[in-house]
Each structure stands twice: as C-alpha cells, then as structure tokens.
Amino acid sequence: MTANLQRNFGGAIPDFYERGMAPVMFAPAAAVTAARVAALAPERVLETAAGTGQVTRLLAARLPAGTAITATDLAPAMLALAAETLSDAPAVELRPADAQALPFADATFDLVLTQFGVMFFPDRAGAMREAARVLRPGGRVMFTTWDSRAANPYAQIASDLVVETTGEPGVFGLAYGLTSLDAVRTLVQEAGFTGFRAEVVRLDAPVPDVGLFAAGLLRGNPTATLLHERGIAPESLVAELERRLRDALGDPATARLQMLLFEAVKP
C-alpha cells in the first residue's frame, strides 16, 4: 500500500493537485471543515490523509494559540508540499503515517479529522477503529466525502472522459463512491462511536483557470498513473476536458460541489 501511494502521489502530481484541483475543490471545502473544527475548540487535533495541507493551514490560523495539531499522510511527496506552506506554523507537526495503523498512544487526541480521505482507505473499518483508539473519551471524529459524481458535475465530466479513454473511472470511482449514509453509519457505529451525524454541504466554487482545473483533474491525482499505465499521456486529454468543462461550468466558470460531512463521538 505504501509503495503504491508513493507512486500514485509522486512526481508532478502534488503540484497539479495543489495548483489545479485545490483552488476549486479543496480550498472551499476546507473552509467549511475548519470552521466546524474551530467551533469545537479542541486542544489536540489529529488530521489523517492531510494531503498538501489545505485544511491544516486553516486550522493553524483559526485555532487558538497552544492548540496541538498533528497532520499525517501516507504520501511523502504530499507532506513535503504541505511543509512548504506551513513553515510559519510551529504548532503543526507533520508526520508520515497510515490512518489504518496510527503511531500514537491510546486516548491522545480530542478530535480526529479526515478531509476526503476515508473513501481511499483499503481498510476503512480499521481506520475508524484506529481513530476511536487514539481519541480520548468524549473526543470526536469528523470526516468528509464527496457526494456522487452526478451531484458534482465537473467530476462526472472528467470521469466520462477517463472511461471513454481507459474503460474505467479510476480515481473518480473511489473518490465519489462512498455516498451511502447507511454504510457510513454502520462503519462509524461498529468502531464504537455514538451520536452519528451526517450533513450535505453544497458549495458554488469559482474556477479561475478552467485549463488548469482540467489539468489538475487529469494530472493531479492517480488518474495520471492510470493513463500512463495505458500508454496515454495525461496532458494529451487536457484540452478536450477543458472544452467539455467550459461548456458545463458557464460564464463566469463555476463548479457545483456537494460533499457529505460526518461526525460522531467516542463514548
């Protein structure tokens, strides 16, 4: 698993993720999540699957001085990019770690947060049990997933192009595939959490550069690896995806985002 993630999130992928996808998809969602966390005022926060630090940066800015924030990810290249933007945030500790086998003692944190990561965990139940283990009694788990591709039209457009080219949706299948509230409720409750809460969050996100967004969708995630494995240069599809996105996003270009936000409490 580690080798695969290092490969799938290495090379140019973190840069296209940060410049192409993040301004449209992850920054607006991170603002919502960070605001929810700030309202809870936790003293010790663990973020898993932190990526390039979209949420991490906002937590460092919004939480009170003295809050201990530990941000982890399994892909060293993503953490390296996060470190560049968090150099002036001494309260944040960045550590490589697998959310399914956390290197922390029991009852260490007040809140465990995962933004758009749970759907990628091969062992989701194990990751949820690990979150429960490292939380103190009364601590909270919070995580987000994307709603379906149909509820996120930009993702449906990108997925359609990838399917036409490779025969499979690749990352767009996983990223937009954990949408069943019953399945998520069961996942959370079987890990021992109570007080399960789910919310649909809708956002309209400006797309400042449609071409760069198209490049991010094809080159800023493991889609790039899938295409390379099929002998297709990801950059060769960017212009076509940009054309399709322009037709759908309107003028000014705006992406409709829909995410699911989940919370639960450790008894």
Q: Whole-number mean pLDDT of the chain?
A: 94
Checking if the pLDDT of 5 tops 70, the result is: no
pTM of the model: 0.94
Task: Please give the pLDDT value at position 7.
Answer: 45
Q: Residue 121 sits in which domain range?
A: 2-265
pLDDT for the residue numbered 3 = 38
pLDDT above 70 as % of the chain: 96
Could you read off the pLDDT of 126-162 as tens digits, one per residue?
A: 999 999 999 999 999 999 999 999 999 999 999 999 9
**pLDDT (average), residues 81-110:** 93
| Predicted confidence (pLDDT) at residue 1 exceeds the cutoff of 80 | no
Bigger pLDDT: 186 vs 2: 186
N residues, the chain: 267
Domain count, the chain: 1
Q: What confidence tier does 182 reach under pLDDT thresholds 50, 70, 90?
A: very high
* CATH number for the domain that contains residue 120: 3.40.50.150
- Poorest-pLDDT segment among 8-12, 13-17, 75-79, 214-218: 8-12
- Residue 8 has a pLDDT of 60
pLDDT at 88 over 90: no
Q: List the one residue out of 83, 96, 21 whose CA is nearest residue 57.
A: 83
Q: pLDDT band for 58, please (50, 70, 90 cuts).
A: very high
